[in-house]
């Protein structure tokens, strides 16, 4: 982890920590977008800065989260 300075890593961690506090059910993608760094880096930072990243969704959970009936139904209206 030498791409950024130590202060920058601390900023990423603090932004992730405050976003998790405001949105406890947020996905890994939303947290990493807000923090400004990818989720893998936040996983490493979470050990040092005392926050926990949510586990990644399985493919089954991802499929269940979207409603294909409304997605495909919108295609027929074009």
Q: What is the pLDDT of residue 74?
A: 65
pLDDT surpasses 70 at 78: no
pLDDT surpasses 70 at 18: yes
27 within 8 A of 54, measured Cβ to Cβ:
yes
The pTM (predicted TM-score) of the whole model is 0.72
Give me the chain's average pLDDT, please: 86
Greater confidence (4 vs 40) lies with: 40
**Residue 11: exposure state from Cβ atoms within 10 A (0-12, 13-18, ≥19):** middle
Give the integer Cα–Cα distance in Å for 2 and 35.
Answer: 18
């Amino acid at each position: 982890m030498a791409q950024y300075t130590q202060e920058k890593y601390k900023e990423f961690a603090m932004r992730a920590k405050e976003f998790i506090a405001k949105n406890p059910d947020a996905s890994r993608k939303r947290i990493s977008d807000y923090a400004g760094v990818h989720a893998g880096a936040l996983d490493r930072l979470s050990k040092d800065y005392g926050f926990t990243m949510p586990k990644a969704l399985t493919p089954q959970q991802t499929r269940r989260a979207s409603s294909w009936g409304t997605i495909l139904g919108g295609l027929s209206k074009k």
